[in-house]
Amino acid sequence: MRDAFIRELLVQATSHDDAFLIVGDLGYSVIEPFAEQFKDRFLNAGIAEQNMTGLAAGLAQTGYNVFTYSIANFPTIRCLEQIRNDVCYHGANVKVVSVGAGLAYGSLGYSHHAVQDMACLRSLPGMLMATPCDPLETQSLVEYLCNHAGPAYLRLGKAKEPVVHTSRPQITRYPAIIPIREGGPHAVLACGSVAELGKNAAAMTGAALYSAALWSMDQATEHAIIDLVESHERVVVVEEHLRAGGFGSFVRECLESRPDLQARVRCLSVDEKVCGMVGSQSYLRAKGGLTTEAILRSLLHSDQVRLRGAA
């Protein structure tokens, strides 16, 4: 996804002369094309993400649409005060880009895991939340954000995420729930790159798979969520985030006015102490309860499902 982000930002920057990129001393072998082509709209703030965010807010006040870029939780949780006070309070045109969301940097340990970031940022008034599920959706979101005025959070995977969409989706308005594959009577709402697991599970049941990779706290989303849940017999939310404050929590908040509607949530389990573990993304997902098998159990409402070769 990070490659798709930079490629699309390069394209958009040619027609949007306000697009500005600030990085936190990383992204080498990825960011060079932008840095070379737009020298006057690129800065390396160093390993000083809080300063990077304050700088971005200042540049935004002069007319730039600024993208800040760093690993996982560093441009988010480390900079929460600056995002809250400097960016959101002033409605600054700053797009916070987190690369390696969830457990993508699993081998680097808990300091590099972003599993509470959505809970923190979605609580900030005016913050648009964008969590693409694959490189194609990433490109569409970058295009949208280059035309969007105001704070936003773009939550990306790391690299080599599979393409889930059959073609690049067109995003003309936000918020949006983007359908990936039609079907029924069940549905998977997949937030981010974990959509790959949801797609596998949905294919095994013939269920419809929907990507909820694009979502925000805009109240208009509440109606879309209610309509979607109401139109299916069973809905499972899948996210690479802790239960508290994540996308599953958001869906349940939307359903508070409709106690007759329910959605099951498959997220990272704190019971397995995944927050203290080190390992590959796939290993940590499995330890945290995010597997195709687990999603399939939720879809079928059965604990008896066991896939061949599954642990």
Distance CA 86, CA 17 (A): 23
Strand-pair partners of 187: 208, 235
User: What phi and psi values does residue 255 have, to the nearest 5 degrees?
Assistant: -90, 0
Order of strands, sheet of 65-71, starting from the edge strand that comes earlier in the sequence: 42-44, 19-23, 65-71, 94-99, 152-156, 128-130
Q: Is 23 helix (H, G, I), strand (E, B) or coil?
A: strand
Encode pLDDT of 193-237 as tens digits.
998 888 888 777 755 555 433 344 444 578 889 998 998 888 899
DSSP letter assigned to residue 192: S
Do 149 and 93 form a contact (C-beta atoms < 8 A)? Answer: yes
Q: Which two tokens stand for residue 57?
A: 């807010």
Residue 94's DSSP bridge partners are: 66
165-194, pLDDT tens digit by residue? 889 988 888 777 788 877 767 888 888 999
* Arithmetic mean of pLDDT over the chain: 88
Q: pTM to 2 decimals?
A: 0.91
pLDDT of 220: 54
Residue 29, pLDDT score: 83
What distance in Å separates the CA atoms of residue 57 and residue 85, rounded to the nearest whole number? 10
- Per the structure block, which two tokens stand in for 37? 């082509």
Entry field: residues in the chain: 311
Structural domains in the chain, sorted by start: 2-156 (3.40.50.970), 178-300 (3.40.50.920)
CA-wise closest residue to 177 among 145, 147, 209, 143: 209
Q: pLDDT below 70 — which residues of the chain?
A: 184, 206-220, 272, 302-311
DSSP β-ladder status, 208-211 and 178-181: antiparallel
H helices, E strands: number in the chain: 11, 11
131 close to 118: Cβ distance less than 8 angstroms: yes
Closest to 268 measured CA to CA, from 101, 133, 147, 149: 101
Q: Give the chain's radius of gyration (CA, Å).
A: 19
Strands across the sheet with 178-181, in order?
178-181, 208-211, 186-191, 234-242, 264-268
